[in-house]
Chains A and B, each alone.
Chain A
């Protein structure tokens, strides 16, 4: 059943595909090599925070920064070195910060905790145990580590869909785990602008999930242990050029969180939703 869901999310989408041709085709995300490119988008939006007491991450100002050399590249926080295997296949060694810590930066459990403890004081048993542990977790939230991941990414540019496979593991010794994903995306051009539909499924190891979402990652108590997690997502992006530098921009992303992660008392929502509507200006 899980496999069927995965395949449904990855089923190739329609429309015409393009390669990074010599002519600047707006349906393909291409960039000039040997020069930094920087754009800033301003508008309204947020990324939801599935953590209990977590505040949404505001998306009012977003940068888009990249540099591509012949092999090296830096693109929105990902540093990589690519090898062109064939015209349509590129293998890259990549490294970037793990994104999990981001939820905890916008985490204000103190308010929530005061309310919960006062209203649930009469509860006993496991619930009480969770309450106590959450108090500890709140006190220790700074311990959620900032981890650096490194691994491989394989990009396959087929006529219809751009496929992306990546596998990353913790090279900073913070959570001792790994995650992998398979993604498919496709862009097409209409009179209403450039559209991009992407789907992906990410697998996160139990070490990763436990380090960030278990109440106490150090405990051996089975009650507190979480398993590995599957997280499918869909994203629709749109952009409409107004001038050579100004564009309108919008996207919506929905990521499902499976029971492996929602079992955690720290997680109260089974999805992460991101949206943004605004305008962007390309500085260089």
Chain B
């Protein structure tokens, strides 16, 4: 029984640690972005994912979020913001939070994974051993 309690405490401690790790904000600006991986059935096909984003800042800031070089949304003199939108990406993409001076405050890579193996064009003729 005592051992069982120890195990439970350990699991709860780990879970608490995981929750803390998921929302750390000891920096001036933080954010949480989910999901960051998009699954596609076949390679080369565009991938759709509904991205949710939350950011917090210690000081009020005017910031914008960008998908690669495309501006998605902006806030003026805000301490925090929330944003949610369906994105379509064809390959790896970068989500960035930039200030008015276009400095990148935060960056998150979005990855596309395929359920099927990647295919390549053959560079040697089939049946050409002889």
Interface residues of A (CB under 8 A from B): 19-24, 28-35, 41, 47, 57, 59, 62-66, 68, 70, 73, 75-78, 80, 82, 90, 92, 102, 153, 155, 157, 162, 164, 185, 198, 235, 237, 249, 251, 274, 276, 280
Contact = CB atoms under 8 A, between A and B. Distances in A.
B117 A30 contact: no
Interface of B: 42-45, 116-130
B45 A30 contact: no
11 contacts: A23-B42, A28-B121, A30-B119, A30-B121, A59-B130, A64-B126, A70-B118, A76-B129, A80-B123, A90-B121, A153-B123
A157 B121 contact: yes
Contacts of A23: 42
Nearest to A69: B120
A37 to B, nearest CB: 10
Q: Which 9 A-B pairs have the closest CB atoms?
A: A75-B124, A22-B42, A29-B122, A22-B44, A20-B121, A32-B117, A33-B118, A68-B120, A30-B119
Contacts of A162: 121
A235 B125 CA distance: 11
B6 to A, nearest CB: 44
B28 to A, nearest CB: 39
Contacts of B121: 19-20, 28-30, 90, 155, 157, 162
Contacts of A251: 127
A249 B127 CA distance: 10
A62 B120 contact: no
Contact of B117 (A28, A35, A153, A274): A35
Given A22-B43, A22-B45, A66 B127 contact: no
Among A22, A66, A75, find the residue whose CB has the most chain B CB atoms closer than 10 A: A22
Contact of B124 (A22, A47, A66): A66
Nearest to A157: B121
B129 A20 contact: no
A20 B120 contact: yes
Contacts of A280: 127
Nearest to A166: B123
A117 to B, nearest CB: 32
Contact of B118 (A29, A32, A73, A75): A32
A20 B119 CA distance: 7
Among B122, B123, B130, find the residue whose CB has the most chain A CB atoms closer than 10 A: B123
Contacts of B122: 29-31, 66, 68, 75
Contact of B123 (A24, A34, A70, A82): A82
B127 A64 contact: yes
A35 B127 CA distance: 18
A63 B129 contact: yes
Nearest to B42: A22
Contacts of A24: 119
A22 to B, nearest CB: 4
Contacts of B123: 73, 75, 78, 80, 82, 90, 92, 153, 155, 164
Given A80-B123, A92-B123, A198-B125, A62 B130 contact: yes
